[in-house]
A = this chain, B = another copy of it.
Amino acid sequence: MVGMRRPTMADVAREVGVTAKTVSRVLNDDGPVAVETRERVMEAVRKLGYQPNLMARNMRVGARDAAIGLVIPEMGNPFFGTVAGGVESVVRPRGLTLIVGSSSETAELERSLVATFLARRVSGLMIVPSAAGDHRYLRAERAAGLPIVFLDRPAVGMAADHVVSGNREGARQGVAHLLAHGHRRIGFVGDLPAVLYTRRERFQGYRDALEAAGLPFDRALVESGHDQEAASAAVVRLLALPDPPTALFAANNFASMGAVVALARARRRDVALVGFDDLPLAEVLEPPLTVVAQDPAAIGTAAAELVLSRLDGRPSRAACREQIPTRLIARGSGELPPSR
């Protein structure tokens, strides 16, 4: 039983007494086929359990695999998972399969994944670039007409299509929300400086809001950490300042969780908090967490549609950027008044 050769088109053809081409015609609704022949072919297909070999088809037909390669930093992260889900939802109805790999945020893994995808001759490439990367090596591919779209962050060293959140505007809105509730000293808790595109943008939004309100920028109110624990520590430092903030803006979900934990540990229910990126349990926290929510599914679908439009021949001479707007969700923590 094991290793039994799979039936091929030729096997089906032999069974019916026709040629492979005729079977192909039936299966692809190509060219004219006699009704009776069609029926006999279909029956032989069922009888033999024949399944067309997509590999062979792809190879002959386009020299391109009917697949889209997607690189994300991490599969277990619901943000990127939802992005991937968005991509799949637009790509599958077009008959394209999704091939996914995770880079663990390292440029090396990202590059090796991309190499694999290119070797497979995927029809399109979608990349959430890792921080340290350089994408110049993809210029030739892009020039040769391969649709390449970057997600969540733009490419480095190369002008290419990309779809990102409205980071700057979203952060501005979140901070403006705190300002509107009377806060004048607002701490910023973000990733390690300058490394990440999103951190830079959101930081700009923070400054935009302050400037629009005519408030001075105080470097002492800016703290960073690369994970939840570090963010907690950052919050502790902020609250220990001589002139501490009455509100916090957490620039990503690790920072948000770190801030929530730090405030809970310190039993500080008087510090306002707005986080960038929504959390599953946000409404259960005390107080419920006010957030600037992103729309990861929309990032995925928009990027996938961009790839499809390139595939359909939309010229890709000029790189285009798409911004997916964020949405402020007021739940309580961002509406607390200043404590002093």
Q: Which residue of B lies closest to A1 (CB)?
A: B143
CB-based contact A76/B297 at 8 Å: yes
In Å, the complex CA distance between A156 and B102 comes to 31
Q: Tell me the minimal C-beta distance from A192 to chain B in angstroms.
A: 21
Q: Which residue of B lies closest to A112 (CB)?
A: B92
A160 at interface, CB cutoff 8 A = no
In Å, the complex CA distance between A55 and B97 comes to 14
A53 at interface, CB cutoff 8 A = yes
Interface size class of A (residues with CB under 8 A): 35 or more
Q: Tell me the minimal C-beta distance from A333 to chain B in angstroms.
A: 12
Contact with B along A85-128 (1 / 0, CB 8 A): 10010001000011111100000000000011011110000000
CB-based contact B119/A101 at 8 Å: no
In Å, the complex CA distance between A67 and B116 comes to 11
CB-based contact B81/A3 at 8 Å: no
Can you give 18 contacting A-B residue pairs, CB < 8 Å? A4-B145, A6-B63, A51-B115, A51-B119, A54-B120, A55-B59, A55-B65, A67-B99, A75-B85, A76-B82, A76-B84, A77-B81, A80-B81, A88-B102, A92-B101, A97-B116, A260-B284, A281-B281
Chain A interface (Cβ within 8 Å of chain B)?
1-4, 6, 49, 51-56, 58-59, 63, 65, 67, 74-78, 80-82, 84-85, 88, 92, 97-102, 115-116, 118-121, 140, 143-145, 257, 260-261, 264, 279-281, 283-286, 296-297
